[in-house]
A and B are shown apart, each in its own frame.
Chain A
Amino acid sequence: MLIIACVKQVPDTSDVKVDSATGTLVREGVPAVMNPFDQFALEEGVRLRDAAGEGAEIVALSMGPPQARSALMKALALGADRAILLTDRAFAGADTWATSYTLARAVGALGKIDLIMCGLQAVDGDTAQTGPEMAQHLRLPQVTYAERVTLDGKTLTVKRQTDTGYEIVEVRMPALLTCTPPADFVPSTPPFSAIIKAKKKPYEEWGAEKINTDADKLGLKGSPTQVKRVFSPPKRGQGVMLEGNSAAAVAGELFQVLAKGGVL
Chain B
Amino acid sequence: MITLAAEKCIGCVKCVKACPFGVIVMKGKKAVIGDGCTLCGACEQICPVSAITIERAMKDIDLTQYSGVWVVAETEGSQRVKNFTFELLGKGRELTDILGQSVSCILLGNDVAKFADTLIHHGADSVFIGESEALSRYRAEAFAPVITGLISRYKPCIVLFGATHAGRDLAPRVAASLELGLTADCTGLSILDGLLLQTRPAFGGNIMADIICPYTRPQMATVRPNVMKKMEPDAKRAGEKITVPVKIDASSFRIVLKEILDSPQTGKVKIDEADIIVSGGRGVCTNGGFALLEELAGVLGGVVGCSRVAVDLGCRPKSVQVGQSGTTVSPKLYVAVGISGSIQHQVGMKSSDTIVAINNDPAAPIFQVADFGIIGDYRAIIPALVVEVKKNRGG
Which residues on A are within 8 Å of B, measured CB to CB? Answer: 11, 14-18, 25, 95-97, 100, 123-137, 139, 141-145, 157, 159, 161-172, 175, 180-181, 183-184, 216, 223-233, 236-237, 239-243, 246-248, 250-252, 254-255, 257-259, 261, 263-264
Contact = CB atoms under 8 A, between A and B. Distances in A.
Contacts, number: 256
A131 B175 CA distance: 12
A139 B182 contact: no
Interface residues of B, number: 91
Contacts of A246: 384
A227 B211 contact: yes
A127 to B, nearest CB: 4
A241 B375 contact: yes
A240 B212 contact: no
Contact of B381 (A183, A251, A261): A251
Contacts of B312: 183-184
Q: Shortest 7 CB-CB distances between A and B: which pairs? A: A224-B181, A14-B204, A136-B176, A251-B384, A247-B380, A225-B181, A165-B262
B49 to A, nearest CB: 12
A246 B376 CA distance: 10
B87 interface: no
Contact of B263 (A127, A164, A252): A164
SS class, residues of chain B in contact with chain A: mixed
A251 B176 contact: no
B256 interface: yes
| Most-contacted residue by chain A among B207, B259, B380, B383 (CB, 10 A) | B207
Given A15-B206, A227-B210, A239 B370 contact: yes
Interface in B105-130: none
B210 A175 contact: no
Contact of B168 (A141, A144, A259): A144
Given A96-B184, A145-B169, 15 more contacts: A14-B344, A128-B168, A133-B172, A135-B173, A167-B257, A180-B325, A225-B181, A226-B211, A228-B210, A233-B205, A241-B372, A241-B374, A241-B375, A254-B372, A263-B333
Contacts of B257: 167-169
B319 A165 contact: yes
B176 A97 contact: yes
Given A236-B369, A240-B371, A139 B45 contact: yes
Given A163-B166, A264-B389, A136 B173 contact: yes
Given A137-B176, A226-B213, A227-B211, A252 B201 contact: no
Given A97-B182, A126-B202, A133 B176 contact: yes
B385 interface: yes
A17 B380 CA distance: 39
Contact of B373 (A168, A180, A184, A239): A239
B9 interface: no
A168 B258 contact: yes
B203 A263 contact: no
